[in-house]
Chain A
Amino acid sequence: MKEINIHIAKELEEAPLLLGLKQGDAQFFRLPDGYFEGLSARILEKAQGNARDEAAVFGDGQQLSQLEAMPMFDVPGGYFENFAERLQGKIEEEEMGILAQLKGKQFFSVPEGYFDRFPDALKTKLKAPKQVTIVRMWSLRIAAAVVILLGLVGLFTSMPSGQDQYVYLENEKVSEEAFFTLVDEENFGIDELASHLSFEELAEIESEIAPILPEAGLEDLINDLELSDLEDLDFELN
């Protein structure tokens, strides 16, 4: 006989009738004889029977359990990739108001056929790559050397006021304005530049300037200088 849990018995003290029924072990429900024997085998058999029925309805290999694993709704390929970014774009667009209306409109235009001609125009510039490279490399050295030479040796002379001002270096003339614009623009400090070059290097540069000048033109060389080139100046001169 099953023993009554002491706590449960205590709870039922105020309901003696219920307690009596419990104590009397009244088993209202009955089971067929040997019900629990072979129960697991019967369940297994039933499961196999269900599988056969599903196969009959959905075809071979299409089990309900498999169908459950399949999503009911599909999404376009790559839908969830960059989803957050697309969402952010949408939010930005909504925030933009007037800007959203202007999106995609082009304010600037180009001459007709510009982009068709551009690669060829570029090729023309690239056709003499060595010359360009030499000129640009030398332009740095020449500019540096000329500024230093002018500063240190005092090679330049100015024309009387009222006339155009030129700086003379051998047979080449360069507008004084161009020179001092360069010096000012690039923050060329003569002392600083001089500190990069030895007198031997200056002499070497001077001897190399002469053959290049007639071809390249000193003013062009100087005008050709760009800020970004000057970033390389330390590297070139060190």
Chain B
Amino acid sequence: MVEEAIILEGLKQADSKPQAFDKLVKSYQEMLYYHIRRMVVDHDDADDVLQNAFLKAWRYIDRFRGDASLKTWLYRIATNEALSFLESKRRRQHQDIEDLQNDLRHSLGGGRYISGDEMLQKLHEAILLLPEKQQLVFNMRYFDEMKYHEIAGVLETSEGGLKANYHHAVKKIEKYLKMDT
């Protein structure tokens, strides 16, 4: 929180803005990258989306009112950017949602920069089969260990529903993982 306050203070001054932005990028690049990567799967796509997310953050930082934390705000931008990217990709390829999900799951098997661990692959397949909101909630809770109120801030929704979303996601993933094991 102290670090965040320092970054925000730096971003307000024109002369310290580039340095503060550099600090912001270094602080959040990794967590945002993986958050995006879990959604778009391909590294190059994740790189594009991540860059766009930070460019938006740079462009709109003056509009950041501080109602949520900087982390929440950045996650929100990154999430929207990734969802827009997927939607755009789906329309460009004239796919329905199911086709897109199949494509993404397929690329888990043969993509670059992927560990190759079968169980982990199955886990990500299961995640990509979830409805969008359950997917997001599960990822932020399970991988990023975010608190429900933070996730609620990112998705601009109430906390109560998120717990149910997470619970359903866990049950579905477990069921998928137990299949053929």
Contacts and interface: CB of A to CB of B under 8 A. Distances in A.
A224 to B, nearest CB: 10
Contacts, number: 90
Interface residues of A, number: 34
Contacts of B115: 105-109
B129 interface: no
A99 B113 contact: no
A206 B155 CA distance: 40
Contact of A108 (B37, B80, B91): B37
Contacts of B92: 181, 185
A118 interface: yes
B37 A126 contact: no
Contacts of A185: 88, 91-92
A118 B123 contact: no
Interface in B73-126: 80-81, 84-85, 87-88, 91-92, 108, 113-115, 117, 119-121, 123-124
Contacts of B80: 228
Contacts of B34: 106, 108
Nearest to A97: B174
A119 B113 contact: no
Contacts of A96: 170, 174
B113 A98 contact: no
B175 to A, nearest CB: 10
Nearest to B41: A108
Q: Is the interface of A mostly helix, strand, loop or mixed?
A: helix
B71 interface: no
A106 B121 CA distance: 10
A115 B113 CA distance: 14
Interface string B21-47: 010011001100110011000010001
B51 A98 contact: no
Nearest to B50: A118
Interface string A119-147: 10111011001001100000000000000
Nearest to B145: A89
A75 interface: no
A184 B33 contact: no
A110 B88 contact: no
Interface string B147-181: 10000000000000000001000100110011001
A95 B171 CA distance: 9
Contacts of A98: 174, 177-178, 181
A204 to B, nearest CB: 25
Interface of B: 22, 25-26, 29-30, 33-34, 37-38, 43, 47, 50-52, 54-56, 58-59, 80-81, 84-85, 87-88, 91-92, 108, 113-115, 117, 119-121, 123-124, 142, 147, 166, 170, 173-174, 177-178, 181
7 contacts: A92-B170, A96-B170, A110-B33, A119-B22, A122-B54, A226-B52, A227-B84
